[in-house]
Amino acid sequence: MSRLIKNLALVADPWREAAAEGPLPDGDVIVPLARFTAEREALLAREGRLGVRLSPDDDPAALAGDLGHLDLVALAFPRFTDGRAYSQARLLRERLGFAGELRAVGDVLRDQLLLMARCGFDAFELRADKDPDDALGAFADYSVAYQAPVSPAPGGRV
């Protein structure tokens, strides 16, 4: 199991990514939105927790009726410079009321973590070449912010 930052601590990651098609891994699984849409009934009926991964082009509202059945939504940052997942996170938390784990995946770097948390993320899968122990310090880098965080802030401290 890989380690990730969740609720401002390093934890083991029990989730497995599933491909767009083919057999699903056992246990807790994250599927792409297209697969969730195509196999919704079967996925909701299976054992284990279920998560959905959204690409930057996906509309979070596509999950509006199913958010109560999902334990996790992973939002992709394909490049450091692509910030569309920040908006998706705020939509999921503030407008759609998603209360489960909101995970940042992809090109996730230390410099982004505090802002991601303020937008509603509570889990962060860093790029493989980055040190999660070092990244934890990002949450204490700044003591003042200009805008309010998503309320309540994940972990209660951001």
What are 149's strand-pairing partners?
A: none
Per-residue pLDDT of the chain (158 residues), as tens digits, is 467 999 999 999 999 999 999 999 999 999 999 999 999 999 999 999 999 999 999 999 999 999 999 999 999 999 988 999 999 999 999 999 999 999 999 999 999 999 999 999 999 999 989 999 999 888 888 777 777 788 554 554 44
Quote the pTM value.
Answer: 0.90
> What tokens does 62 get?
């596509």
Given this model, what pLDDT does residue 144 score?
77
Given this model, what pLDDT does residue 33 score?
98
Q: Which amino acid is at 125?
A: E
Q: 112: helix, coil or strand?
A: helix
Range of the domain at 119: 3-156
Q: Can you point out the beta strands (E) in the chain?
A: 3-6, 9-12, 16-17, 29-32, 50-54, 72-77, 101-106, 123-124
- What CATH number is given to the structural domain containing 30? 3.20.20
Given this model, what pLDDT does residue 151 score?
57
Total domains in the fold of the chain: 1
**Rounded to an integer, what distance in angstroms lies between the CA atom of residue 34 and that of residue 109?**
27
Q: Is the dihedral of CA 35, 78, 109, 82 positive or negative?
A: negative
Distance of CA 1 to the CA centre of its chain: 17
